[in-house]
Amino acid sequence: MDRDLELRRQVCFALYSASRAVTDVYRPLLEELGLTYPQYLALLALWERGDAVPTVKELGEALHLDSGTLSPMLKRLEGAGLVGRYRSDRDERIVEVRLTDAGRALRRRVDDIPRRVARATGLSENELLALRDTLTRVTEAIHSTGAHPPAQKEK
Amino acid sequence: MDRDLELRRQVCFALYSASRAVTDVYRPLLEELGLTYPQYLALLALWERGDAVPTVKELGEALHLDSGTLSPMLKRLEGAGLVGRYRSDRDERIVEVRLTDAGRALRRRVDDIPRRVARATGLSENELLALRDTLTRVTEAIHSTGAHPPAQKEK
DNA sequence: AGCAGATTAGTTGTGCACAACTAGATCGTG
DNA sequence: CACGATCTAGTTGTGCACAACTAATCTGCT
Protein backbone atom coordinates (compact mmCIF):
# COMPACT_ATOMS: atom_id res chain seq x y z
CA MET A 1 0.00 0.00 0.00
CA ASP A 2 1.11 3.59 -0.36
CA ARG A 3 2.85 3.21 -3.66
CA ASP A 4 3.26 6.98 -3.77
CA LEU A 5 6.57 6.58 -2.00
CA GLU A 6 8.19 4.29 -4.56
CA LEU A 7 11.58 5.57 -5.53
CA ARG A 8 11.07 5.34 -9.28
CA ARG A 9 7.85 7.36 -9.01
CA GLN A 10 9.52 10.31 -7.35
CA VAL A 11 10.19 13.34 -9.50
CA CYS A 12 12.75 14.40 -6.95
CA PHE A 13 14.73 11.20 -7.38
CA ALA A 14 14.58 11.50 -11.18
CA LEU A 15 15.93 15.02 -10.82
CA TYR A 16 18.66 14.00 -8.41
CA SER A 17 19.71 11.07 -10.60
CA ALA A 18 19.63 13.00 -13.86
CA SER A 19 21.63 15.85 -12.40
CA ARG A 20 24.36 13.51 -11.25
CA ALA A 21 24.27 11.55 -14.52
CA VAL A 22 24.76 14.71 -16.56
CA THR A 23 27.63 15.71 -14.31
CA ASP A 24 29.15 12.31 -15.02
CA VAL A 25 29.19 13.20 -18.71
CA TYR A 26 30.92 16.49 -18.02
CA ARG A 27 33.49 15.10 -15.61
CA PRO A 28 35.92 13.43 -18.03
CA LEU A 29 35.61 16.32 -20.48
CA LEU A 30 36.36 18.90 -17.81
CA GLU A 31 39.05 16.84 -16.19
CA GLU A 32 41.25 17.46 -19.22
CA LEU A 33 40.97 21.16 -18.43
CA GLY A 34 41.59 20.66 -14.73
CA LEU A 35 38.08 21.86 -13.88
CA THR A 36 35.26 20.50 -11.77
CA TYR A 37 31.69 20.94 -12.88
CA PRO A 38 30.82 23.73 -10.41
CA GLN A 39 34.04 25.52 -11.39
CA TYR A 40 32.98 25.27 -15.02
CA LEU A 41 29.63 26.86 -14.18
CA ALA A 42 31.41 29.68 -12.37
CA LEU A 43 33.57 30.28 -15.42
CA LEU A 44 30.49 30.34 -17.67
CA ALA A 45 29.11 33.08 -15.45
CA LEU A 46 32.37 35.02 -15.72
CA TRP A 47 32.85 34.54 -19.46
CA GLU A 48 29.39 35.77 -20.34
CA ARG A 49 30.02 38.99 -18.45
CA GLY A 50 32.68 40.08 -20.88
CA ASP A 51 34.54 43.00 -19.36
CA ALA A 52 32.17 43.51 -16.50
CA VAL A 53 33.68 42.43 -13.20
CA PRO A 54 31.22 40.74 -10.85
CA THR A 55 31.51 40.63 -7.10
CA VAL A 56 31.41 37.44 -5.10
CA LYS A 57 27.84 38.28 -4.19
CA GLU A 58 26.76 38.76 -7.80
CA LEU A 59 28.40 35.50 -8.79
CA GLY A 60 26.55 33.83 -5.95
CA GLU A 61 23.25 35.17 -7.18
CA ALA A 62 23.94 33.95 -10.71
CA LEU A 63 24.86 30.47 -9.51
CA HIS A 64 22.50 30.31 -6.53
CA LEU A 65 25.48 29.74 -4.24
CA ASP A 66 26.51 31.43 -1.00
CA SER A 67 29.93 32.60 0.09
CA GLY A 68 30.46 29.44 2.10
CA THR A 69 30.64 27.54 -1.16
CA LEU A 70 32.03 30.24 -3.41
CA SER A 71 34.90 31.54 -1.30
CA PRO A 72 36.88 28.31 -1.25
CA MET A 73 36.00 27.53 -4.87
CA LEU A 74 37.21 30.92 -6.06
CA LYS A 75 40.39 30.42 -4.09
CA ARG A 76 40.97 27.19 -5.99
CA LEU A 77 40.33 28.92 -9.32
CA GLU A 78 42.76 31.59 -8.22
CA GLY A 79 45.29 28.92 -7.32
CA ALA A 80 44.84 27.49 -10.82
CA GLY A 81 45.63 30.92 -12.23
CA LEU A 82 42.23 31.37 -13.87
CA VAL A 83 40.85 34.26 -11.81
CA GLY A 84 42.07 37.01 -9.51
CA ARG A 85 40.24 38.39 -6.47
CA TYR A 86 40.52 42.05 -5.51
CA ARG A 87 39.06 44.03 -2.64
CA SER A 88 37.13 46.98 -3.98
CA ASP A 89 38.54 50.41 -3.21
CA ARG A 90 35.13 52.00 -2.92
CA ASP A 91 33.71 49.44 -0.52
CA GLU A 92 36.16 47.24 1.27
CA ARG A 93 33.56 44.62 2.05
CA ILE A 94 33.36 43.73 -1.63
CA VAL A 95 35.63 41.36 -3.52
CA GLU A 96 35.69 41.59 -7.32
CA VAL A 97 36.40 38.49 -9.35
CA ARG A 98 38.37 39.03 -12.56
CA LEU A 99 39.35 36.50 -15.19
CA THR A 100 43.05 36.25 -15.89
CA ASP A 101 44.29 35.88 -19.47
CA ALA A 102 44.54 32.14 -18.86
CA GLY A 103 40.95 32.12 -17.60
CA ARG A 104 39.73 33.92 -20.71
CA ALA A 105 41.76 31.64 -22.97
CA LEU A 106 40.20 28.54 -21.48
CA ARG A 107 36.88 29.47 -23.01
CA ARG A 108 37.98 28.37 -26.45
CA ARG A 109 38.63 24.86 -25.19
CA VAL A 110 35.09 24.27 -23.90
CA ASP A 111 33.31 25.26 -27.10
CA ASP A 112 32.13 21.82 -28.10
CA ILE A 113 31.41 20.49 -24.64
CA PRO A 114 27.73 21.52 -24.43
CA ARG A 115 27.04 19.88 -27.76
CA ARG A 116 28.68 16.64 -26.74
CA VAL A 117 26.76 16.52 -23.48
CA ALA A 118 23.49 17.31 -25.25
CA ARG A 119 24.08 14.34 -27.53
CA ALA A 120 24.64 12.03 -24.57
CA THR A 121 21.21 12.86 -23.14
CA GLY A 122 19.52 11.28 -26.14
CA LEU A 123 17.02 14.14 -26.29
CA SER A 124 16.20 16.18 -29.38
CA GLU A 125 16.96 19.87 -29.56
CA ASN A 126 13.33 20.72 -28.88
CA GLU A 127 13.08 18.31 -25.98
CA LEU A 128 16.17 19.85 -24.46
CA LEU A 129 14.75 23.34 -24.71
CA ALA A 130 11.43 22.25 -23.25
CA LEU A 131 13.19 20.46 -20.43
CA ARG A 132 15.34 23.47 -19.67
CA ASP A 133 12.31 25.76 -19.56
CA THR A 134 10.34 23.44 -17.31
CA LEU A 135 13.26 23.14 -14.92
CA THR A 136 13.78 26.89 -14.90
CA ARG A 137 10.11 27.40 -14.03
CA VAL A 138 10.43 24.94 -11.15
CA THR A 139 13.50 26.67 -9.78
CA GLU A 140 11.87 30.08 -10.02
CA ALA A 141 8.65 28.86 -8.45
CA ILE A 142 10.56 27.53 -5.48
CA HIS A 143 12.81 30.55 -5.06
CA SER A 144 9.92 32.97 -5.33
CA THR A 145 7.84 31.29 -2.63
CA GLY A 146 10.03 32.85 -0.02
CA ALA A 147 12.00 29.66 0.01
CA HIS A 148 15.47 30.30 1.28
CA PRO A 149 17.89 31.17 -1.43
CA PRO A 150 21.26 32.77 -0.80
CA ALA A 151 19.31 35.99 -0.51
CA GLN A 152 16.96 37.24 2.17
CA LYS A 153 16.24 35.30 5.32
CA GLU A 154 13.58 35.99 7.85
CA LYS A 155 13.97 39.47 9.20
CA MET B 1 29.68 35.93 -29.99
CA ASP B 2 29.25 32.35 -28.90
CA ARG B 3 26.08 32.78 -26.97
CA ASP B 4 25.82 29.00 -26.70
CA LEU B 5 27.78 29.21 -23.48
CA GLU B 6 25.41 31.52 -21.64
CA LEU B 7 24.54 30.16 -18.25
CA ARG B 8 20.81 30.54 -18.57
CA ARG B 9 20.82 28.64 -21.87
CA GLN B 10 22.44 25.57 -20.39
CA VAL B 11 20.22 22.61 -19.73
CA CYS B 12 22.86 21.35 -17.33
CA PHE B 13 22.65 24.48 -15.20
CA ALA B 14 18.84 24.32 -15.17
CA LEU B 15 19.13 20.74 -13.98
CA TYR B 16 21.72 21.57 -11.35
CA SER B 17 19.68 24.53 -10.06
CA ALA B 18 16.36 22.73 -10.04
CA SER B 19 17.81 19.75 -8.24
CA ARG B 20 19.19 21.95 -5.49
CA ALA B 21 16.00 24.02 -5.32
CA VAL B 22 13.87 20.91 -4.85
CA THR B 23 16.23 19.71 -2.14
CA ASP B 24 15.71 23.08 -0.46
CA VAL B 25 12.00 22.32 -0.26
CA TYR B 26 12.64 18.95 1.32
CA ARG B 27 15.25 20.14 3.80
CA PRO B 28 13.03 21.79 6.42
CA LEU B 29 10.44 19.03 6.13
CA LEU B 30 13.04 16.31 6.64
CA GLU B 31 14.87 18.19 9.33
CA GLU B 32 11.93 17.62 11.65
CA LEU B 33 12.56 13.91 11.21
CA GLY B 34 16.31 14.23 11.65
CA LEU B 35 16.93 13.15 8.06
CA THR B 36 18.94 14.53 5.19
CA TYR B 37 17.64 14.28 1.66
CA PRO B 38 19.94 11.42 0.56
CA GLN B 39 19.08 9.57 3.75
CA TYR B 40 15.40 9.99 2.90
CA LEU B 41 16.01 8.50 -0.56
CA ALA B 42 17.80 5.54 1.01
CA LEU B 43 14.85 4.97 3.32
CA LEU B 44 12.44 5.12 0.37
CA ALA B 45 14.49 2.36 -1.23
CA LEU B 46 14.31 0.30 1.95
CA TRP B 47 10.63 0.90 2.65
CA GLU B 48 9.52 -0.15 -0.79
CA ARG B 49 11.31 -3.49 -0.40
CA GLY B 50 8.98 -4.59 2.34
CA ASP B 51 10.48 -7.64 4.03
CA ALA B 52 13.21 -8.15 1.47
CA VAL B 53 16.63 -7.25 2.85
CA PRO B 54 18.88 -5.55 0.33
CA THR B 55 22.66 -5.62 0.44
CA VAL B 56 24.76 -2.46 0.36
CA LYS B 57 25.47 -3.20 -3.28
CA GLU B 58 21.78 -3.51 -4.20
CA LEU B 59 21.00 -0.30 -2.39
CA GLY B 60 23.81 1.35 -4.31
CA GLU B 61 22.36 0.20 -7.61
CA ALA B 62 18.92 1.51 -6.68
CA LEU B 63 20.29 4.91 -5.70
CA HIS B 64 23.16 5.07 -8.20
CA LEU B 65 25.63 5.43 -5.32
CA ASP B 66 28.82 3.57 -4.52
CA SER B 67 30.05 2.22 -1.21
CA GLY B 68 32.21 5.30 -0.67
CA THR B 69 29.02 7.30 -0.24
CA LEU B 70 26.74 4.63 1.17
CA SER B 71 28.95 3.15 3.87
CA PRO B 72 29.22 6.29 5.97
CA MET B 73 25.60 7.23 5.29
CA LEU B 74 24.35 3.83 6.45
CA LYS B 75 26.48 4.15 9.55
CA ARG B 76 24.74 7.42 10.34
CA LEU B 77 21.32 5.83 9.79
CA GLU B 78 22.45 3.02 12.08
CA GLY B 79 23.57 5.56 14.64
CA ALA B 80 20.12 7.13 14.44
CA GLY B 81 18.59 3.73 15.18
CA LEU B 82 16.78 3.46 11.85
CA VAL B 83 18.66 0.55 10.25
CA GLY B 84 20.91 -2.32 11.24
CA ARG B 85 23.80 -3.73 9.20
CA TYR B 86 24.66 -7.43 9.28
CA ARG B 87 27.38 -9.46 7.62
CA SER B 88 25.85 -12.28 5.65
CA ASP B 89 26.58 -15.78 6.90
CA ARG B 90 26.61 -17.25 3.43
CA ASP B 91 29.02 -14.72 1.95
CA GLU B 92 31.04 -12.70 4.38
CA ARG B 93 31.75 -10.00 1.81
CA ILE B 94 28.10 -8.96 1.88
CA VAL B 95 26.41 -6.62 4.33
CA GLU B 96 22.63 -6.72 4.59
CA VAL B 97 20.74 -3.57 5.53
CA ARG B 98 17.63 -4.07 7.63
CA LEU B 99 15.14 -1.49 8.84
CA THR B 100 14.61 -1.35 12.58
CA ASP B 101 11.14 -0.89 14.02
CA ALA B 102 11.89 2.79 14.37
CA GLY B 103 12.97 2.90 10.72
CA ARG B 104 9.74 1.28 9.61
CA ALA B 105 7.69 3.55 11.84
CA LEU B 106 9.21 6.67 10.32
CA ARG B 107 7.49 5.92 7.03
CA ARG B 108 4.15 7.11 8.38
CA ARG B 109 5.59 10.54 9.09
CA VAL B 110 6.68 11.23 5.51
CA ASP B 111 3.37 10.43 3.87
CA ASP B 112 2.44 13.95 2.87
CA ILE B 113 5.91 15.19 2.00
CA PRO B 114 5.90 14.29 -1.72
CA ARG B 115 2.61 16.07 -2.19
CA ARG B 116 3.85 19.22 -0.47
CA VAL B 117 7.00 19.29 -2.56
CA ALA B 118 5.04 18.70 -5.76
CA ARG B 119 2.91 21.71 -4.92
CA ALA B 120 5.97 23.89 -4.45
CA THR B 121 7.20 23.17 -7.97
CA GLY B 122 4.18 24.91 -9.43
CA LEU B 123 3.78 22.15 -12.03
CA SER B 124 0.57 20.26 -12.76
CA GLU B 125 0.28 16.56 -12.12
CA ASN B 126 0.76 15.83 -15.81
CA GLU B 127 3.73 18.13 -16.14
CA LEU B 128 5.35 16.42 -13.18
CA LEU B 129 4.87 13.00 -14.71
CA ALA B 130 6.20 14.16 -18.07
CA LEU B 131 9.20 15.78 -16.39
CA ARG B 132 9.95 12.66 -14.41
CA ASP B 133 9.80 10.49 -17.52
CA THR B 134 12.04 12.79 -19.53
CA LEU B 135 14.59 12.90 -16.73
CA THR B 136 14.49 9.13 -16.34
CA ARG B 137 15.15 8.74 -20.06
CA VAL B 138 18.14 11.08 -19.81
CA THR B 139 19.58 9.18 -16.88
CA GLU B 140 19.14 5.84 -18.62
CA ALA B 141 20.58 7.13 -21.87
CA ILE B 142 23.70 8.26 -20.07
CA HIS B 143 24.10 5.16 -17.96
CA SER B 144 23.60 2.85 -20.92
CA THR B 145 26.24 4.50 -23.08
CA GLY B 146 28.94 2.80 -21.10
CA ALA B 147 29.15 5.88 -18.96
CA HIS B 148 30.59 5.11 -15.58
CA PRO B 149 27.96 4.18 -13.07
CA PRO B 150 28.73 2.33 -9.84
CA ALA B 151 28.81 -0.74 -12.04
CA GLN B 152 31.32 -1.94 -14.60
CA LYS B 153 34.48 -0.05 -15.37
CA GLU B 154 36.80 -0.61 -18.29
CA LYS B 155 37.99 -4.21 -18.32
C1' DA C 1 29.65 62.93 15.02
C1' DG C 2 28.13 58.49 16.76
C1' DC C 3 26.21 54.26 16.84
C1' DA C 4 22.64 50.35 15.85
C1' DG C 5 21.74 47.63 12.24
C1' DA C 6 22.66 45.92 7.74
C1' DT C 7 25.87 44.14 4.35
C1' DT C 8 29.82 41.40 2.45
C1' DA C 9 33.11 37.89 2.47
C1' DG C 10 35.19 34.48 4.93
C1' DT C 11 35.49 30.42 8.40
C1' DT C 12 34.00 26.19 10.70
C1' DG C 13 31.64 21.94 10.92
C1' DT C 14 28.59 18.33 8.82
C1' DG C 15 27.21 15.45 5.13
C1' DC C 16 27.13 13.98 0.69
C1' DA C 17 29.60 12.36 -4.07
C1' DC C 18 33.34 10.40 -6.20
C1' DA C 19 38.13 8.60 -7.31
C1' DA C 20 41.54 5.68 -5.76
C1' DC C 21 42.75 2.42 -2.84
C1' DT C 22 42.63 -1.58 0.81
C1' DA C 23 41.19 -5.89 3.14
C1' DG C 24 39.00 -9.85 3.08
C1' DA C 25 36.08 -13.43 0.94
C1' DT C 26 34.76 -16.11 -2.99
C1' DC C 27 35.07 -18.09 -7.61
C1' DG C 28 37.10 -20.27 -11.67
C1' DT C 29 40.36 -22.79 -14.00
C1' DG C 30 44.03 -25.65 -14.51
C1' DC D 1 43.81 -28.36 -4.34
C1' DA D 2 46.15 -24.00 -5.68
C1' DC D 3 46.07 -19.53 -6.86
C1' DG D 4 45.08 -15.57 -9.64
C1' DA D 5 41.11 -12.92 -10.80
C1' DT D 6 36.91 -11.05 -9.15
C1' DC D 7 33.76 -9.26 -5.93
C1' DT D 8 32.06 -6.62 -1.70
C1' DA D 9 32.39 -3.25 1.65
C1' DG D 10 35.03 0.00 3.74
C1' DT D 11 38.71 3.89 4.03
C1' DT D 12 41.08 8.08 2.56
C1' DG D 13 41.35 12.42 0.36
C1' DT D 14 39.23 16.20 -2.45
C1' DG D 15 35.59 19.26 -3.53
C1' DC D 16 31.19 20.90 -3.31
C1' DA D 17 26.63 22.59 -0.57
C1' DC D 18 24.77 24.49 3.35
C1' DA D 19 24.00 26.16 8.27
C1' DA D 20 25.81 28.89 11.66
C1' DC D 21 28.91 31.99 12.86
C1' DT D 22 32.68 35.86 12.68
C1' DA D 23 35.13 40.09 11.26
C1' DA D 24 35.25 44.09 8.91
C1' DT D 25 32.91 47.67 6.65
C1' DC D 26 29.29 50.64 5.46
C1' DT D 27 24.56 53.13 6.02
C1' DG D 28 20.98 55.53 8.01
C1' DC D 29 19.22 58.00 11.61
C1' DT D 30 19.28 61.03 15.14
B31-60 pLDDT per residue, tens: 999 999 999 999 999 999 999 999 999 999
Q: pLDDT tier at A9 (50, 70, 90 boundaries)?
A: very high
Opening angle at CA A13, ends B103 and B46, nearest 5: 25
- For range B72-80, the mean pLDDT: 98
Residues B12, A26: C-beta atoms closer than 8 Å: yes
Instruction: Tell me whether B116 touches chain A (CB under 8 Å).
Output: no
Contacts of B131 in chain A (CB under 8 A): 11, 14, 131, 134-135, 138
Q: Which of A53-62, A144-153, B30-39 has the lowest mean pLDDT?
A: A144-153
Say which nucleotide is closest to residue B85, CA to C1' distance.
D9
pLDDT band at A2 (very low <50, low <70, confident <90, very high): low
Residue B152: pLDDT band by 50, 70, 90 thresholds? very low
Q: Give the nucleotide with minimal C1' distance to the Cα of B93.
A: D8
Decide: CB of A108 under 7 A of nucleic strand D: no
pLDDT (average), residues B78-107: 96
Q: What's the whole-model pTM score? A: 0.92
pLDDT at position A137: 97
Checking if the pLDDT of B80 tops 90, the result is yes
B76 in contact with chain A, both atoms CB, cutoff 8 A: no
Spell out which residues of chain A touch residue B147, defining contact as CB-CB under 8 Å.
Answer: 21, 24-25, 120
Bases of chain C with protein Cβ within 7 A: 6-13, 15-20, 23-27
Residue B74 Cβ under 7 A from any strand D atom: yes
Binned at pLDDT 50, 70 and 90, residue A145 comes out as confident
pLDDT score at A154? 37
**Any long-range contacts for A117-125 (C-beta under 8 Å, 24+ apart)?**
A117/A22, A117/A25, A117/A26, A117/A29, A117/B12, A118/B11, A120/A25, A120/B141, A120/B142, A120/B145, A120/B147, A121/A22, A121/B11, A121/B138, A121/B141, A121/B142, A122/B137, A122/B138, A122/B141, A122/B142, A123/B134, A123/B137, A123/B138, A123/B141
* Higher pLDDT among residues B31 and B154, named by residue: B31
A6, A22, A138 ranked by CB distance to B121: nearest: A138
Q: Judge: A138–B16 Cβ closer than 8 Å, yes or no.
A: no
User: For residue B146, what pLDDT band results from cuts at 50, 70 and 90?
Assistant: low
Give the pLDDT mean for B26-31.
Answer: 97
What was the pLDDT predicted at A128?
A: 97
Q: What is the pLDDT of residue B145?
A: 78
Per-residue pLDDT averaged across A137-144, rounded? 95
The confidence band for A146, taking pLDDT boundaries of 50, 70 and 90, is low
Average pLDDT of every residue of chain B = 92
